[in-house]
Amino acid sequence: MQPAHANTDAATDDNALHFRRTLHFDGALNVRDLGGVTTAAGQQVRYGIAYRSDDLADLSVVDLAELEERSVRTVVDFRNPEEAEARPSRLPRGAEVVSTPFPPGDKTAAEVMELLVGGELTTDIAHEILLDSYRHVTETGGPVMAELIRSIINRPPVLFHCAGGKDRTGVAAAVILSILGVDRDQVIDDYMLTNDRLTDQSSTFQLRLAEYPEESRHVLLALGLAKTAFIERSLDIIDRDFGGIDDYARNQLMLTQDEIDELRALLLDG
């Protein structure tokens, strides 16, 4: 029989791992190292090679110094030109920007906000919009994710981001971890870590949420928080429609086997 304290010890280990992976920035809410995750084969993803984030418009001097200390050389920006113009990035010295927007989907962020302001956006509609966006990103985003992976291979360390660091960034992170051999449950667990800081009542997300009328807050939560169903939509499409992650990497990302091997050699211990 397993000791009663075993689950507590496991939870403590998970919390310590999450704390090590999370970058607690002043001006960004959803920043973490892809490292520390363990693959199905028992290898660990290396720290200090790839970072994921929400947008970088509000980074403080301290935040920028942290990225410089981590020698971030490349920032891959998934946002479209309108998003980038509205919230220009603050970048660590010497970092090269790779702008590679995902193809536009059926609904822009501005259109979604119009629905919200007009009282037409319900939590169910928000859920369906997000499910469709994950489908769209997975089906059309191969060239974007290939550009990210080639940036990681050629100019690490890399930070990649979108606006909130959850949707486009979440799919890209899930694809990378899957290529590395991380199992589905761990990929989903990694995706769900986004909620840890968003649900912190002192977070900027919660403070901004409080500025909206009460009737709008639950809809904004539906848009802002990660749900397993979202990333599962992407993972299901990769498995069902594209034959699994290996075929997806080769046929949708158009990665060569040499590039896949380089990515694994760079990011995996052992």
- Give me the pLDDT at residue 115, please: 78
- Give me the pLDDT at residue 31, please: 95
pLDDT in tens, 89-129: 999 999 999 999 999 887 777 787 787 777 778 889 889 99
The two structure tokens encoding residue 196: 């840890």
* Superfamily name and number for 6-267: Protein tyrosine phosphatase superfamily (3.90.190.10)
Percent of the chain whose predicted confidence (pLDDT) is above 90 = 71
Strands (E) across 69-176 are located at 74-77, 96-99, 158-161
- Give me the pLDDT at residue 15, please: 63
> Mean per-residue pLDDT for 62-79?
97
Q: Answer yes or no: is pLDDT of 1 > 60.
A: no
- Give me the pLDDT at residue 10, please: 47
The two structure tokens encoding residue 195: 């909620």
Phi and psi at residue 181, to the nearest 5°: 100, 15
- Are the beta carbons of 167 and 134 closer than 8 angstroms? yes
- Are the beta carbons of 233 and 136 closer than 8 angstroms? no
**Per-domain boundaries in the chain:** 6-267
- Give me the pLDDT at residue 148, please: 98
- What band does 270 get if pLDDT is binned at 50, 70 and 90? confident
* CA 240 to each of CA 216, 232, 236: distance values in angstroms, whole numbers, following the listed order: 36, 12, 6
- Comparing CA positions, the residue from 35, 43, 17, 52 lying closest to residue 181 is 43
- What band does 266 get if pLDDT is binned at 50, 70 and 90? very high
Q: Answer yes or no: is pLDDT of 146 > 60.
A: yes
End-to-end CA distance of the chain: 33
Kindly list the strands in the beta sheet with 96-99, ordered across the sheet, starting from the edge strand earlier in the chain: 32-33, 50-53, 158-161, 74-77, 96-99
Percent of the chain whose predicted confidence (pLDDT) is above 70 = 86
What value does the mean pLDDT of the chain take? 89
Question: Which among 1-5, 151-155, 224-228 has the top mean pLDDT?
Answer: 151-155
Helix or strand (DSSP H, E) at 143? helix 142-154
pLDDT in tens, 166-202: 999 999 999 999 999 999 999 999 999 998 877 665 4
pLDDT in tens, 12-52: 556 666 667 899 999 998 999 999 999 999 999 999 999 99
What does pTM read for this prediction?
Answer: 0.89
Spatial separation of the C-alpha atoms in residues 176 and 89, rounded to whole Å: 24
